[in-house]
Amino acid sequence: MALPKIDLPIYELELPSNGKKVKYVPFTVKEEKILLTAQEGKNPAQIINSVKQIVNNCILNCSLDELAVFDLEFLLVNIRSKSIDDVIKFKITDPDTEKEVELELNLSDVKVEKDPNHTNKIKINDTYTLFLKYPNIDDFFEILTSEKPNSEKNFDIMMSCMLQLVSEDEVYNFKDFTQEEIDNFVESLHHDTIKKIKQFFDSIPKTRHEINYKNSNGEDKTFVIQGTQTFFI
């Protein structure tokens, strides 16, 4: 007789990027082993691969490529909260005193911070508006593992996030064009448009939380936790 399969509770989360409701289950011993291996290795590429594997195993009604990076980060926080515990106790080294400080993080306090002026609509001129999409984990993984200079990496991720060019009469989907055609289009853009695109990336929502503490000198300090760091402390 085979051992029974244990049913896991199903939870629901609203994605910060678009409000879509995603169903997920807590991770099991299998995913916890993946997490521990990534924590011990501390290799950025390995951590990203582990994140992809864990989330892919836990989400039920969407795929990884649908998730903006900050959606994925927020999902990670909630998956860990439901899988282990809401409260994480950990130690940091205070940069001024170089002494260890014990901190406590309640995962339910971690939110996605949004800039009220952030927009994915870039007005090029009176005729055309450029729509950008949020980078997903594969976009960042490709940039992270690339051996290109940082300026070229930034250019690549900018191009990978161009979604549509829209006028009153026409819609151009960038996925329908060759890389050479996209390169030529980008090279024709005015500096002001590039500046607006850069502002889009600079103001992308972030999974972020601040913890206030006092160091051994009695000084008020702040420790900032951001992104996947909340999952791997």
Model pLDDT, residue 113? 92
Model pLDDT, residue 144? 65
Q: What is the mean pLDDT of residues 7-14?
A: 91
Give the lowest-confidence range in 15-24, 29-38, 77-86.
Answer: 29-38
pLDDT tens profile 82-110: 988 889 888 999 999 999 999 999 988 88
Between 47 and 222, the more confident residue is 222
Question: For residue 19, what is the DSSP state?
Answer: -
- Name the nearest CA neighbour of 120 among 110, 128, 130, 106: 130
Q: What is the mean pLDDT of residues 19-39?
A: 85
Cα–Cα distance, 121 to 128 (Å, whole number): 10
Helix boundaries (H) for the chain: 29-41, 44-58, 69-83, 137-145, 150-160, 179-187, 191-202, 229-232
Q: Which two tokens stand for residue 215?
A: 């160091």
Contacts of 191 (CB under 8 A, 6+ apart): none
- Name the nearest CA neighbour of 79 among 95, 65, 67, 93: 67
Percent of the chain with pLDDT over 90: 50
Helix (H, G, I), strand (E, B) or coil at 71: helix
Model pLDDT, residue 24? 94
Q: How confident is the model at residue 230 (pLDDT cuts 50, 70, 90)?
A: low
Are 119 and 130 spatial neighbours (Cβ–Cβ below 8 Å)?
Answer: no
Cα–Cα distance, 114 to 207 (Å, whole number): 9
Give the dihedral of Cα atoms 54, 60, 64, 68; nearest 10 deg. Answer: -100
Cα–Cα distance, 174 to 85 (Å, whole number): 43
pLDDT tens profile 127-164: 999 999 998 888 777 766 666 666 677 777 888 899 99
pLDDT tens profile 179-213: 899 989 988 999 999 899 999 999 999 998 999 99
Cα–Cα distance, 97 to 127 (Å, whole number): 57
Cα–Cα distance, 228 to 233 (Å, whole number): 9
Cα–Cα distance, 116 to 108 (Å, whole number): 22
Helix (H, G, I), strand (E, B) or coil at 170: coil
